[in-house]
Amino acid sequence: MIRFLTLCALILAGPVAAQDLTLPASARQISERISPLDSYDLPTGPFADGAVPARILKGRVERFSWRLQAGSSTTLQLLAPLRDQIEAQGFDIVFECEARTCGGFDFRFGTEVIPTPDMYVAIQDYRFLSATKGSEVLSLLVSRNPPDGYVQMIRVTPLSGPSPTPVVIEQTVDGTGGLLAGFERTGHVILDDLHFRTGEVALGDGPFASLTLLAGFLAENPGTRLALVGHTDDTGDLQANTSVSTRRAQAVRTRLINAHGVAADRIEAQGVGYLAPITSNATAEGRDLNRRVEAVLLLN
């Protein structure tokens, strides 16, 4: 516990003094990525007119995620004590929303999210806030996959030096940064807005924002290809699940070709059944999360 609180103090440390952020004792850090010089698109409002309004920030960018035991706690109950702490430390809340008022999956895909399984975001059950304290900026994203809760923090501090460049560089309304930023950084991404019920292989009518973004990425990067990988929950035997997962990936491939004009030779589709779960299949929520299609970046 002492080690965890010390880590939290470092996360919220200002240029001179450290500040504490206390999470529940059950919280466990899942990921950490610190970039001495990077940029972050800070959401400043809900998804509207095809984009998430944001400010592009430049400086030291710290990205962290935690998993904790949420039990029956709501996302508001998870977020509220964290919000109270950062307000007590002098941060002003710039923007706060819950899934519906944020913009659902459009907001989720329009903002930066640490890739699954290090951060999980339920499209209809998350909360977000952004806050500032002078030139320091941070955002919190909270969601649940019962019995677990997830917390993501992204923090930006200005460049050090006698005459630091102002941290706010420009305004942006780019709604594609979240999914594509994770895709380029890690080489794979879960297409969270595609959902399959147990045993089903048909893809709904859409529209699916993730497929639009992937098609645009391929158009702008002619030297790349995609591998679509289908996954299932553990209902049934491996042979049947491998077949189902392959057909799901093929359905996504067909949609990209027919509806988005992607060349057939730039997409391949495979399935691995239940061999690569990202969470336990013991709950309905976990099984729903495991029924997914991922896009893997390939270079020609």
CA distances from 231 to 45, 190, 209, 242, 272 (A): 34, 10, 20, 8, 6
- Residues spanned by the domain of 214: 187-299
Same domain, 203 and 159: no
As for how many domains the chain has, the answer is 2
Query: What DSSP line would sit under 141-198, residue for residue?
Result: EEEEETTEEEEEEEEEEPPPSSSPPPSEEEEE--S-HHHHHHHHHHSEEE-TT----T
Q: What is the pTM of this model?
A: 0.57
Same domain, 127 and 50: yes
- Of 24, 123, 113, nearest to 67 by C-alpha is 24
235-256 in b/e form (b: 16+ CB < 10 A) is eeeeeebbbbbbbbbbbbbebb
pLDDT at 164 over 50: no
Same domain, 71 and 193: no
The CATH number linked to 291 is 3.30.1330.60
DSSP 8-state assignment for residue 286 = H
Last residue of a domain, which of 183, 200, 217?
A: 183
CA distances from 4 to 11, 20, 70, 189 (A): 11, 11, 18, 29
Cis upstream peptide for 43 (omega within 30°): no
Same domain, 126 and 210: no
Task: Write out pLDDT tens, residues 251-296.
Answer: 999 999 999 999 999 999 999 999 988 888 887 777 878 888 999 9
Task: Write out pLDDT tens, residues 145-163.
Answer: 888 899 999 999 987 654 3
Same domain, 67 and 163: yes
Task: Categorize the per-residue pLDDT at 199 as very low, low, confident or very high, splitting at 50, 70 and 90.
Answer: low
Same domain, 65 and 169: yes
Q: At what angle do helices 177-186 and 209-220 cross, to 10 degrees?
A: 60
The token duo for 120 is 């999980």
The token duo for 155 is 């923090």
Task: Categorize the per-residue pLDDT at 17 as very low, low, confident or very high, splitting at 50, 70 and 90.
Answer: very low
The CATH number linked to 19 is 3.40.1000
pLDDT at 176 over 70: no
Q: What pLDDT shows up at residue 2? A: 32
Same domain, 172 and 203: no
- Of 136, 121, 143, 124, nearest to 89 by C-alpha is 136
How far is Cα 210 from Cα 192, in angstroms, rounded to an integer? 8
Same domain, 164 and 249: no
Same domain, 31 and 156: yes
Same domain, 138 and 151: yes
- Of 60, 58, 84, nearest to 10 by C-alpha is 60
Yes or no: say if 233 and 291 are a contact pair by the CB < 8 Å rule.
yes
Task: Categorize the per-residue pLDDT at 81 as very low, low, confident or very high, splitting at 50, 70 and 90.
Answer: very high
Same domain, 255 and 197: yes
CA distances from 153 to 66, 113, 130 (A): 9, 10, 10
Same domain, 132 and 231: no
Last residue of a domain, which of 131, 156, 183?
A: 183
Please report which helix (H) or strand (E) contains residue 280, including its range: none
Last residue of a domain, which of 183, 206, 236?
A: 183
The single residue listed with the structure tokens 């893997």 is 296
Task: Write out pLDDT tens, residues 98-130.
Answer: 999 999 888 988 899 887 778 888 888 999 999
Cα angle 289, 293, 295; round to 5: 130
Strand order in the sheet with 267-271: 188-190, 292-299, 224-231, 267-271
Cβ count within 10 A of residue 95: 17
